[in-house]
């Protein structure tokens, strides 16, 4: 009976999540050549190609889509077994900041898993804006913050990326002769900058008619027909629609997700939390790239 290698599976899943051998190699801390060799060994073991390879990156073949299901299960069981063994040695407090986008979906489930694996660690969670979260990490009020941005975020660790969408009511019709009403979070906010810069390039007049730090209130205003918003692809309510089909609206850059760490608190707990959370969060978010 053949035995799957955990390190090879980790590289395979990373390549699938990122769609890139280069990014996968950074994540698993191996060279691109080493990751390519690992994937080649896995393909030789199963006797099938697992990736289509192209200039823009890699994508899963049908066999790869079958393998990724089991690879993720195996890694999850492996990581939970290690966590369960280590959990009795760790105790303390971890202060974590997360944005609203992740506070509604994914993070609560992952934090529940973390709490069960490490019951002696008290985790205190703050949901806030990027600006406030990053400031509080740098002032050592938080141990870790997960942040949304565009492009690089200084001194932070890359986790994943998310498609960013124009979002409007189900019956929305673009009217070129009317200023576009925007419903957005308060500045400083990367969604705000995306909207204004993209519309300016297309010579589309716009005005900000609704500003709220509460995402649910923005969804309600969009549904009421007050205007459009920009958000990542995580939490779009079913009564609203993404507006990819409206070609007049400018394309939007992907949002990127980063983890920013304080340097003044318990490194062991921070690192253990990162090792536990990052692979799981990256896996969950891969469907939204």
Q: Per residue of the chain (289 residues), what is the pLDDT tens digit?
A: 788 899 999 999 888 888 889 888 888 889 999 999 999 999 999 999 999 988 778 889 999 999 998 998 888 788 777 766 665 567 888 999 998 878 777 788 788 888 888 888 899 999 988 888 989 998 889 999 998 887 677 788 888 878 889 999 988 888 888 889 999 888 887 788 888 888 888 888 888 999 998 888 999 999 999 999 998 877 788 889 999 888 899 988 888 888 888 877 567 788 888 888 877 787 777 654 5
Alpha helices in the chain (DSSP H): 6-18, 21-28, 32-46, 62-86, 100-104, 107-117, 130-138, 190-201, 215-223, 267-285
Q: Class of 90-162+256-288 per CATH?
A: alpha beta
| Three-state secondary structure call for residue 85 | helix
Q: 44 CB contacts (<8 Å, ≥6 apart)? A: none
* CATH number of this structure's domain 164-253, picked from the four choices 3.30.1180.20, 3.10.310.10, 3.40.50.300, 3.40.190.10: 3.40.190.10
- Report how far residue 180's alpha carbon sits from residue 164's, in angstroms, rounded to the nearest whole number: 18
The CATH number of 6-85, from 3.30.450.40, 3.50.50.60, 1.10.10.10, 3.40.1010.20, is 1.10.10.10
Residue pair 256/153 in contact by the 8 Å Cβ criterion: yes
pLDDT in the model for residue 97:
93
What pTM did the predictor assign? 0.66
Tens-digit pLDDT profile for residues 234-258: 778 888 999 988 889 998 888 888 8
Supply φ then ψ for residue 138, to 5 degrees: -70, -25
Are 106 and 285 contacting, i.e. CB atoms less than 8 angstroms apart?
yes
Q: Which residues contact 193 (CB under 8 A, 6 or more apart)?
A: 150
Per-residue pLDDT tens digits for 155-207? 888 888 788 899 999 888 888 888 899 998 888 877 888 888 888 888 888 88
**Ranges of CATH 1.10.10.10 domains, the chain:** 6-85
pLDDT of residue 255: 83
Cα angle 193, 185, 109 (rounded to 5 degrees) comes to 110
Taking the C-alpha atoms of residue 129 and residue 215, their distance in angstroms, rounded to an integer, is 11
Q: Report how far residue 191's alpha carbon sits from residue 235's, in angstroms, rounded to the nearest whole number.
A: 15
Question: What's the token pair of residue 122?
Answer: 């008290």
Q: Where in the chain is the domain with CATH 3.40.190.10?
A: 90-162+256-288, 164-253
**Residue 39 has which token pair?**
């994937």
Peptide bond into 20 cis (omega under 30): no
Whole-number pLDDT of residue 41: 93
């Amino acid at each position: 009976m053949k035995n799957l290698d955990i390190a090879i599976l980790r590289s395979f899943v990373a390549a699938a999540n990122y769609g890139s051998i280069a990014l996968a190699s950074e994540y698993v801390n191996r060279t691109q050549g080493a990751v390519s060799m690992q994937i080649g060994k896995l393909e030789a073991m199963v006797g099938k190609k697992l990736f289509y390879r192209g200039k823009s990156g890699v994508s899963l073949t049908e066999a790869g889509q079958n393998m990724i299901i089991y690879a993720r299960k195996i890694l999850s069981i492996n990581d939970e077994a290690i966590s369960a063994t280590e959990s009795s040695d760790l105790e303390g407090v971890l202060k974590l900041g997360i944005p609203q986008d992740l506070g509604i979906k994914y993070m609560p489930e992952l934090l529940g898993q973390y709490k069960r694996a490490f019951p002696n660690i008290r985790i205190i969670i703050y949901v806030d804006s990027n600006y406030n979260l990053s400031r509080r990490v740098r002032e050592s009020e938080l141990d870790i913050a997960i942040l949304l941005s565009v492009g690089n975020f200084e001194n932070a660790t890359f986790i994943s990326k998310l498609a960013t969408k124009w979002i409007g009511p189900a019956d929305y019709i673009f009217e070129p002769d009317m200023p576009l009403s925007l419903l957005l979070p308060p500045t400083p906010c990367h969604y705000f900058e995306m909207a204004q810069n993209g519309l300016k390039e297309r010579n589309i007049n716009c005005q900000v008619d609704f500003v709220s730090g509460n995402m649910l209130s923005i969804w309600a205003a969009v549904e009421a027909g007050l205007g459009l918003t920009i958000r990542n692809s995580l939490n779009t309510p079913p009564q609203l629609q993404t507006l990819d089909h409206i070609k007049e609206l400018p394309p939007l850059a992907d949002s990127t997700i980063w983890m920013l760490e304080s340097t003044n608190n318990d490194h062991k707990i921070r690192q253990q939390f990162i090792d536990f959370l990052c692979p799981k969060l990256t896996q969950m978010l891969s469907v939204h790239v």
